[in-house]
Amino acid sequence: MSTVRVIGVGNPYRRDDGAGPAVIAGLRHRCPSTVELAECDGEPTRLLDLWSGADLAVVVDAVRSGASPGTIHRRSLSHPSLGQAGGATSHAVDLGDAVALAAALDRLPARMLLYLVEAGDTSTGVGLTPAVDAAVAELIEEIAEEITWLATRR
Amino acid sequence: MSHRNDRALTVGSLSRVEGEGAMHVRVVDGQVSDVRLQIYEPPRFFEGFLRGRGYTEPPDITARICGICPVAYQMSACLAIEDACGVRVDEPIADLRRLLYCGEWISSHTLHIYLLHAPDFLGYPSVVELARDHRAVVERGLAIKKVGNAILEAVGGRAIHPVNVRVGGFYRAPGRAEIVALAAPLREALAAAVATVHWVAGFSFPDFEHDHELLALVEPGRYAVLDGGVRTDRGLVFPVRAFEEHIHEEQVPHSTALQARLAGHRRYLTGPLARYALSRAWLLPEARDVADAVGLEPVCRNPFRSIVVRAVELVQAIAEAIRLVDAYRPFAPAAVPVPARPGVGYGATEAPRGTLFHRYEIDESGRVVGARIVPPTAQNQAVIEDDLRHFVQARLDLDDHRLTHECEQAIRNYDPCISCATHFLDLTVERS
């Protein structure tokens, strides 16, 4: 059976940086029990441990690239711009580092999908801004559908 | 260029430090005139939003200040609240706290040694390039770190922001089997940590020494982590309860973190170099033996060699964790009752980067009415600036690129956690 892991990266106490964990919370009752859900602060070694050995890792993180808040960037593992996504905090940079480190150590999952949500407000506090909240709702639907399809496809 | 008399170096977004900050160095007429470590993330709000919360909440709230050392925040907060309420926990609880704290030291020190600091010494821009050339070494680091995370998960419930800690102890004491499972990986990690000390001791270190007053908790009989009084290498001794009389924080215009000084405006250093200098006698034999084997002096005053001291402390934390795991027996209840009582309580523990002080004032209804948190990086900020002033002055012949790189390395000597102190370090060296 294939291993599917969804990893939400971010800090819910830095407002829109909590987009990743918010997607995980939304997926709790939406996806097959065989799908593993995890939250992560983005520290590279934790990410390596979370995704190594997986057939598919779906990683959701917040970024600041200059696009309008709530914009969703979709990337597959091999996409060249992965490491250049501007960080919402330091960890979007870390995500690129984590992927590069995993590649150097042969610890990448067989396949990785990245969903990066453009953050607006990353100040101290809880709660997402409306644009990011809407993006999170859209991603919950999209990822739930995708992984349910993958999990039932065999 | 290197021979201008007036220049400025800037690091906008310091890499491989925890948090966001910037460094600015100004050189005028061949003299370093200004060094500013700028911290622009405002974490001081934590002290504000703790006010009005229940007295049992600070361990969970303050743990969120940092993803690397949440246990330090939880432990200092628990000790301070228990102090306010006149409660001291039983030994099995204290031992389990110490095991949890060992997990954090193992994880944090390994992260800093292998992923953040070692690439500087070996001429790699980051751990990614280091891993391409020295895969086995990086794998060793990751394996050690994993054991630290396993302790955090077994005792704390999860690796980031543990959920099993409460005022008075734990929500649940882990079963014997869960803890015993850590024994074999810890023994493997011990050998790997000893190899780490030999590895880092063989690096070349810049010829640089400082003479800062060194401050740490000291607990005669063992290497202090969760208990003990405050001491400095210049003879200052005071109990944790008196920290506000001796440690004064001041606002500096260029930073959102307060800078801490000892009374009399004295700079001081906290962290591995200070702990090792003050508590070397209480290292476990495994750690002391390897320190001796690599010729580590009793007081190390070269901050670049802090990576060796950190590796010795890694051995210490693993050796201690082995003892705690072997001796562990599940206990009940998992926490002692801590009834609220009005008053002020103080707590201090040794976070991986240095002493972390907390103070809470609690009212009759059990609400927090005042909170104060003095994190290690805020205490070390003045020392980092002073090191840079001297370090840069002696290296003005280097070009800006090289000098900037060496300054960043000098800052990483302190494993600064800027998220704690108030994230990104930007470095500017200005030669005007």
| pLDDT tens digits, A49-101 | 899 989 999 999 998 888 899 999 998 875 434 444 333 333 334 677 788 88
Domain boundaries, chain B: 7-206+327-431
Answer yes or no: pTM beyond 0.90: no
Whether residue B122 is predicted with pLDDT greater than 90 in this model: the reply is yes
User: Looking at the partner chain, which of B19, B68, B131 has a beta carbon nearest the beta carbon of A105?
Assistant: B131
pLDDT of residue B410: 87
Whether residue B15 is predicted with pLDDT greater than 80 in this model: the reply is no
pLDDT of residue B79: 98
User: Looking at the partner chain, which of A48, A90, A101 has a beta carbon nearest the beta carbon of B424?
Assistant: A90
Least confident span in B58-62, B102-106, B193-197: B58-62
Top pLDDT among B162 and B238 is at B238
For each of the domains in chain A, give its residue range(s) and CATH number, in order of start.
4-153 (3.40.50.1450)
- Residues with Cβ within 8 Å of B394's Cβ and at least 6 positions away in sequence, in order, are B208
CB–CB contact A45 B19 (8 Å): no
- B11, B423, B425: which to substitute to probe chain A, counting the most A Cβ within 10 Å? B423
- At B311, which helix (H) or strand (E)? helix B306-327
Whether residue B305 is predicted with pLDDT greater than 90 in this model: the reply is yes
Report, as an integer, the average pLDDT of B186-193: 98
* Inter-chain CB pairs, A–B, below 8 Å: 53
List the single residue in A with minimal CA-CA distance to B127. A101
From chain B, the residues in CB contact with A90 under 8 A are 18-20, 423-424
Report, as an integer, the average pLDDT of B172-187: 97
* Per-residue pLDDT band at B13 (split at 50, 70, 90): low
pLDDT > 90 fraction of chain B, expressed in percent and rounded = 64
CATH 3.40.50.300 is held by the domain B7-206+327-431: no
- The complex's ipTM? 0.74
Note whether A13 contacts B: Cβ–Cβ < 8 A: yes
CB–CB contact B149 A104 (8 Å): no
Report, as an integer, the average pLDDT of A108-134: 91
Q: How many helices (H) and strands (E) does chain A have?
A: 4, 5
- Length of chain A (residues): 154
User: Among B4, B66, B63, B18, which residue's Cα sits nearest to residue B430?
Assistant: B4
From chain A, the residues in CB contact with B426 under 8 A are none
From chain A, the residues in CB contact with B149 under 8 A are 46, 49
Report, as an integer, the average pLDDT of A105-124: 89
Whether residue B16 is predicted with pLDDT greater than 60 in this model: the reply is no
Least confident span in A140-144, B116-120, B174-178: B116-120
* Per-residue pLDDT band at B105 (split at 50, 70, 90): very high
pLDDT of residue B424: 32
pLDDT of residue B316: 98
- Per-residue pLDDT tens over the stretch B225-277: 999 999 999 999 999 999 999 999 877 776 666 788 898 888 999 999 999 99
Query: Is the Cα torsion angle B101, B102, B108, B109 positive or negative in sign?
Result: positive
pLDDT of residue A126: 87
Task: Say how far apart CA A57 and CA A137 lie, in whole Å.
Answer: 20
List the single residue in A with minimal CA-CA distance to B138. A105
Note whether A90 contacts B: Cβ–Cβ < 8 A: yes
Task: Say how far apart CA B311 and CA B97 lie, in whole Å.
Answer: 22
Averaged pLDDT of chain B: 89
